[in-house]
C-alpha cells in the first residue's frame, strides 16, 4: 500500500515539467555516443553492472544529504519490481543490445518506448484511448523514422539479437513508467530513485557477477573511463532524477513521448560537435517530431499536481 502524503508542496509550473522532460532526454541521448566509447574497452555486462552500482552510490549519498525519508515496508516490494523493470532488466537489455547492433538501430528502437508506454497505460486502465495522442504518436514516429532513414534498417542482419534486446529494453522501461508513477507522487523523488537503483543493483550484480569476476580494469583506457563517468552522471543519475520528478507530475505516456526528442538532440550534437551538415531530411523529421509533440501537449493542459 502506498503511504498517504504527510504534507503538500505548491504545484510545479508546466514549463518546469517540460524542461525536466527535455533535460532528461538530452542526457539519455548522450548514452549511445558515450556508451559506444566506453564499450571500446569495457565489456557490456561489466559496464551494465558498474553503471548501476556507481549510480546507486551517488544517489544514496545525495539522498542522505537532502532527506532522511524512508520507504514504508509495504511499498518496498513495489519498488523492487519497478527497479527490476526500469533499472536491472532495462540496463542489461540496453547495454548488451547497444554492443551488438548499430547506433541507428538503437535510436529507432528507443523511439518505440512511447508506443509501448501508451499501449501499456491503456491496457492497465491508467489512461483512455484517444485520437489526439494516437495522431501525435504517429506524427512523431514518422519524424523519427524519416530522420533515421529506415531503409538502412534490416531485420535479417546479423544485428538482430541486439535489436531484439533493445525491444525488450523499450518494453521493460515502458511498463516501469506506467507502474511507478503512483509511488513517485507520494515520496520524494530522491527517495524513490535512490531506492530504485539500490534495489536494482542486487539482481544486476548477481547476473553480471561472472563477467565482473573476469573484468580487468587495468585494460580499460582513460577515454573509456571518462566516457563511463559521463554515462553514470549525465546519462543515468541526472536523467533518471529529472524523468522521475516529471513522471510524478505528468501522465506516463506524456513522459515517454519526449523520447522522440532523442533523435533531434543527437542530430544537433552531430552538427555542433562533428560539424555535420543539417540536411533537408533532418529538418523535415524535426518538424514532424515537434508537430507530434504539439498535438500531444494540446490534448489537454499539462497536470501540475501538488506533490508531497
pLDDT attached to residue 47: 93
Picking from 88, 28, 52, the residue whose alpha carbon sits closest to that of residue 239 is: 28
CB atoms within 10 A of CB 270: 15
Measured between alpha carbons, how far apart are the two ends of the chain, in Å?
A: 16
Mean pLDDT by 10 residues, the chain (308 residues): 46 74 85 84 92 91 81 87 90 85 69 77 81 76 66 62 82 87 81 89 90 93 94 90 80 70 68 63 70 63 36
pLDDT attached to residue 64: 84
pLDDT attached to residue 148: 56
pLDDT attached to residue 304: 36
Please report, for the chain, the start and end positions of each structural domain, with discontinuous segments joined by +.
14-298
Contact status, residue 21 vs residue 253, Cβ threshold 8 Å: no
Picking from 285, 287, 298, 297, the residue whose alpha carbon sits closest to that of residue 107 is: 285
SS3 (DSSP) at 124: coil
SS3 (DSSP) at 43: coil
Compute CA 213 distance to the chain's CA centroid, rounded to the nearest angstrom: 28
pLDDT attached to residue 144: 66
Contact status, residue 276 vs residue 270, Cβ threshold 8 Å: yes
List helix spans (H) across the chain.
14-39, 44-66, 73-83, 89-100, 103-110, 113-123, 131-148, 160-184, 189-213, 222-232, 238-247, 252-257, 261-274, 280-298
SS3 (DSSP) at 83: helix
Phi-psi group of 43: left, alpha or beta (phi > 0 → left; psi -120 to 50 → alpha; rest → beta):
beta
pTM, two decimals, is: 0.70
Measured over the CA atoms of residue 44, residue 234, residue 246 and residue 283, the dihedral's sign is negative
Q: What is the rounded radius of gyration, in angstroms, for the C-alpha atoms of the chain?
A: 19
Contact status, residue 165 vs residue 97, Cβ threshold 8 Å: yes
Amino acid at each position: 500500500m502506498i503511504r498517504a502524503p504527510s504534507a503538500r508542496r505548491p504545484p510545479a509550473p508546466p514549463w518546469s515539467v517540460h524542461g525536466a522532460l527535455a533535460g532528461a532526454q538530452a542526457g539519455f541521448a548522450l548514452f549511445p555516443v558515450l556508451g559506444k566509447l566506453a564499450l571500446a574497452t569495457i565489456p557490456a555486462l561489466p559496464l551494465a553492472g558498474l553503471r548501476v552500482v556507481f549510480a546507486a552510490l551517488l544517489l544514496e549519498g545525495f539522498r542522505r544529504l537532502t532527506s532522511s525519508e524512508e520507504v514504508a515496508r509495504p511499498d518496498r516490494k513495489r519498488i523492487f519490481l519497478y527497479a527490476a523493470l526500469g533499472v536491472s532488466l532495462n540496463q542489461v537489455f540496453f547495454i548488451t543490445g547497444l554492443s551488438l547492433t548499430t547506433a541507428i538501430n538503437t535510436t529507432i528502437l528507443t523511439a518505440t518506448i512511447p508506443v509501448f508506454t501508451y499501449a501499456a497505460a491503456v491496457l492497465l486502465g491508467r489512461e483512455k484511448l484517444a485520437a489526439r495522442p494516437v495522431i501525435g504518436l504517429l506524427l512523431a514516429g514518422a519524424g523519427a523514422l524519416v530522420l533515421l532513414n529506415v531503409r538502412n534498417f534490416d531485420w535479417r542482419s546479423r544485428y538482430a539479437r541486439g535489436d531484439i534486446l533493445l525491444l525488450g529494453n523499450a518494453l521493460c522501461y515502458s511498463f516501469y513508467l506506467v507502474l511507478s508513477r503512483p509511488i513517485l507522487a507520494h515520496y520524494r523523488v530522491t527517495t524513490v530513485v535512490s531506492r530504485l537503483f539500490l534495489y536494482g543493483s542486487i539482481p544486476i550484480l548477481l547476473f553480471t557477477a561472472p563477467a565482473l569476476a573476469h573484468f580487468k580494469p587495468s585494460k580499460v583506457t582513460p577515454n573509456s573511463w571518462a566516457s563511463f563517468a559521463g554515462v553514470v552522471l549525465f546519462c543515468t543519475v541526472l536523467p533518471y532524477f529529472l524523468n522521475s520528478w516529471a513522471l510524478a507530475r505528468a501522465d506516463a505516456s506524456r513522459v515517454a513521448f519526449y523520447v522522440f526528442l532523442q533523435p533531434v538532440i543527437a542530430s544537433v550534437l552531430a552538427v555542433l560537435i562533428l560539424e555535420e551538415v543539417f540536411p533537408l531530411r533532418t529538418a523535415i523529421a524535426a518538424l514532424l517530431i515537434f508537430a507530434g509533440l504539439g498535438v500531444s501537449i494540446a490534448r489537454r493542459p499539462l497536470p501540475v499536481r501538488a506533490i508531497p
